Structure 1
């Protein structure tokens, strides 16, 4: 089947990762229907697509204000029987939420449950990819410190009892991705849908926005991590941050490969890891590539010490083998992010 005849439904189409997915799908000749929260957001995305020199006839949007209920999904799938692939990227990432259960956990889990049930009732849907997160693999439930080596098979043991209070959004986010991920596994094992399902688990996601940044005050969580380092005064302390990263363009690529290679990927959780990252490393990359930017130098030695004292390792080599493409290195990812932030007027 030629890609031109396939239509992909992307939920949460205005998100950081989702915009890259939309862009890459259109470049590959797929038709895309994206869910957005308002007409303004839909029209804005359409104009960004046109400004980027892409054919906006390949993009259409539907307005879904509530991603918890099943009905909006039923309506989209009934109205658009041409949809054969679903990429479910929409999930709350709101670290300022006042109630982690109501604002983060329930929408993520119920949204996942309902879109899967809805897709099951529409036999035209053949492939389903969901955006999870590496936090669903890191178990901090015992004493707040993860241990050992984490792989695609690992699960976080987080439950709502681990919330320190209603505003504990970081743990809330971990619970939301864990429980939504477990719902995906349960659904596939028990309900045997007639479509393949793959979960994509990105780590820290760096890299530029898909389209031109017009407002630096509205950067997403990951871009803001880079921006925070960029905003440091030369004599300020670099706040510690350690983890693994992946470039957003590779995350989008992985979503597309996941459904294109559905024979290999069905039922899998694919962890995305392009290497280790610390704020010290980010600062030293910025200093090397942007000598006019006046921020703290960043120390490779300090970076290595921070990474060594972590007591945790990641091995997502199985995912990399399945996906079969090389990841963008940290330096390119950070340079492209910073260049775009500096260019934003």
Structure 2
């Protein structure tokens, strides 16, 4: 398929989400027109205020239920591309992994693709936010270096094997794997006029500019950093592996670049800057002087530099650099920007929109 020009209109599903808000901002900065789906009028109005400098470049429509058939029928009309970012990221399965995680992810993806296939006459490219969770297979011996060629086989198998006994983290990995496989299967079986790209990030950190009304409403990944500032870790927790990471601004770049890059069509992109540990996070944040002193004091110090000793899996993100031009933010830059945004949220009482200082952290 040809690349999508910057004069095009793009639909972003789940536009009020942590990653999606940065995607919308970068689209607008490049000159795209953006339509976002949100679950409520309030969420849409927050985005209108956040992006008001772009005038009529941003609009929103309501899609309350990802699983409702036809929920996206109207939203896909008249757009040239779709970025499907809407999918649950949490581990709270409440004894019902299928109902709480797996079905919403799979059915939501199929619903969007069905709507595009039936009503999105102009759509040429669809980019789906998948995950490292669809690639990492935790049953393999450690350490492994995973790439886009790998698939998580064990978590989907556990859906049938374990049923309601499947743990939340494994159910989440299954949901992302099954949703991505459903997307590739849909395109293959339907012979769609649009092509598909998937972006597969590991844990996404970096500044939060989406609407958050209180610390307990933070998205799962950023909440980890907030909790670190508020006593969630001790020295004994620091040596352990934390997995792989990527900055939210780099994930957004990969999504947007996937539209304008003709070569991207039909490909998966692991978007990862490699391994990190909680010791690495402590090395950065325990000495970061732009956060409140009481926050710094709550970060355990551990053994500085000890993160290098941690043995864990890695995720190769070099393809996204090679094809999409992703230039990864360092862990230090990523964590400091995350902290800056948390300070910003606290200073404005968890109300209003992100400050200009935080928004400008996304400028390249």
Alignment TM-score, normalising by the size of structure 1:
0.89
- Report the Cα distance in structure 2 between the residues aligned to 1:2 and 1:172, rounded to whole angstroms: 35
- Report the Cα distance in structure 1 between the residues aligned to 2:12 and 2:205, rounded to whole angstroms: 21
Query: Would the alpha carbon gap of residues 147 and 297 (structure 1) be closer, same or farther in structure 2, given more than 3 Å must change?
Result: closer
Corresponding residue for 1:302?
306
Query: Would the alpha carbon gap of residues 168 and 113 (structure 1) be closer, same or farther in structure 2, given more than 3 Å must change?
Result: same
Query: Would the alpha carbon gap of residues 76 and 314 (structure 1) be closer, same or farther in structure 2, given more than 3 Å must change?
Result: closer
Q: CA deviation at 1:299?
A: 2.6
- 1:45-60 equivalences under 5 Å are 45-50=47-52, 54-60=53-59
Partner SS for 2:73:
helix
Partner SS for 1:274:
coil
Q: CA deviation at 1:188?
A: 2.3
Q: CA deviation at 1:214?
A: 5.9
Q: CA deviation at 1:336?
A: 0.9
Q: CA deviation at 1:273?
A: 1.1
Partner SS for 1:270:
strand
Alignment TM-score, normalising by the size of structure 2:
0.84
Q: Does residue 321 of the first structure (1) align with residue 318 of the second (2)?
A: no
Q: Does residue 185 of the first structure (1) align with residue 184 of the second (2)?
A: yes
- Report the Cα distance in structure 2 between the residues aligned to 1:11 and 1:248, rounded to whole angstroms: 17
User: In 1, are the aligned partners of 2:106 and 2:179 still within 8 Å (CA)?
Assistant: yes
- Report the Cα distance in structure 2 between the residues aligned to 1:225 and 1:168, rounded to whole angstroms: 19
- 1:184-223 equivalences under 5 Å are 184-210=183-209, 215-223=214-222
| Unpaired runs of at least 5, structure 2 | 348-364
Aligned length: 333
User: In 2, are the aligned partners of 1:23 and 1:210 still within 8 Å (CA)?
Assistant: no
Q: CA deviation at 1:203?
A: 0.9
1:22 aligned residue (18, 21, 24): 24
- Report the Cα distance in structure 2 between the residues aligned to 1:299 and 1:249, rounded to whole angstroms: 30
- Report the Cα distance in structure 1 between the residues aligned to 2:122 and 2:266, rounded to whole angstroms: 19
- 1:70-149 equivalences under 5 Å are 70-77=69-76, 80-81=77-78, 83-98=79-94, 99-121=96-118, 122-140=120-138, 142=139, 148-149=144-145
Corresponding residue for 2:334?
333
Q: CA deviation at 1:236?
A: 5.5
Corresponding residue for 2:62?
63
What CA deviation, in whole Å up to 9, does each residue of 1:88-143 have, x standing for no partner? 00001232231210121011111111211221223211111000000100112x48
RMSD: 2.3
- Report the Cα distance in structure 2 between the residues aligned to 1:118 and 1:47, rounded to whole angstroms: 28
Q: CA deviation at 1:280?
A: 0.8
Q: CA deviation at 1:149?
A: 2.6
What CA deviation, in whole Å up to 9, does each residue of 1:211-264 have, x standing for no partner? 586643421111111112211289664353421111000100100001110x21
- 1:276-295 equivalences under 5 Å are 276-290=275-289, 292=293, 293-294=296-297, 295=299
| Unpaired runs of at least 5, structure 1 | none
Partner SS for 1:5:
coil
Partner SS for 2:244:
strand
- 1:262-281 equivalences under 5 Å are 263-281=262-280
Query: Would the alpha carbon gap of residues 211 and 108 (structure 1) be closer, same or farther in structure 2, given more than 3 Å must change?
Result: closer
- Report the Cα distance in structure 1 between the residues aligned to 2:281 and 2:72, rounded to whole angstroms: 40
User: In 1, are the aligned partners of 2:274 and 2:317 still within 8 Å (CA)?
Assistant: no
Q: CA deviation at 1:180?
A: 0.9
